[in-house]
Amino acid sequence: MYRVNSSIEVNMMTNERHANIWDTLVESPEEAENLQLRSTLMRALTRKVRSLELAQKDAALRLKVTQPRLNDLLKGKIDKFSLDALVKMLPGAGLQIEVTVKERSEA
């Protein structure tokens, strides 16, 4: 077993196939979906912030967060961010979100 972010255990001995990595890290599909969405937003924000080549202090001001909070984002500390918090940072990065809801395919 591996412990991820101090609260999620991963059994590395399984041969199961999963739709995404998050399915292997959490108990429910709802939690996996939430992690997948947060991961997607964090990657987009991180790419954008790095492309701006700003000092962290200046980038944090644009996103309306503290510099330590921005540092958590850049280090990928997913457990520190809610979907709501990440969505609120998008405008400061010059990004917008587009939502598509569809029927879940049965695997």
Domain-embedded: residue 17: no
**Token pair in block for residue 104:** 């879940």
Q: Give domain status of residue 50, yes or no.
A: yes
Q: Is the pTM of this model over 0.85?
A: no
Domain presence at residue 62: yes
Q: Does any domain span residue 57?
A: yes
Q: What is the CATH number of the domain that holds 40?
A: 1.10.260.40
- Provide the pLDDT confidence category of residue 105 given band limits of 50, 70 and 90: confident
Tokens of 53: 């080549």
More confident residue, 107 or 12: 107
Could you give the residue ranges of the DSSP H alpha helices within 1-107?
21-25, 29-52, 56-63, 67-74, 83-89
Residue 98 lies in a domain: no
Q: How far from the centroid of its chain's Cα atoms is residue 75's Cα?
A: 11
Q: Which structural domain, as residue segments, surrounds residue 62?
A: 28-93
Q: Which uninterrupted H or E stretch holds 2?
A: strand 2-4
- Closest by CA to 89, choosing from 61, 50, 53, 68, is 61
Total number of domains constituting the chain: 1
Residue-wise pLDDT tens digits, 27-69: 777 888 888 899 999 999 999 999 999 999 999 999 999 999 9
In a domain, 23, yes or no: no
Angstrom distance (rounded) from CA 67 to CA 9: 30
Scan for tokens 């998050």, then name that residue.
22
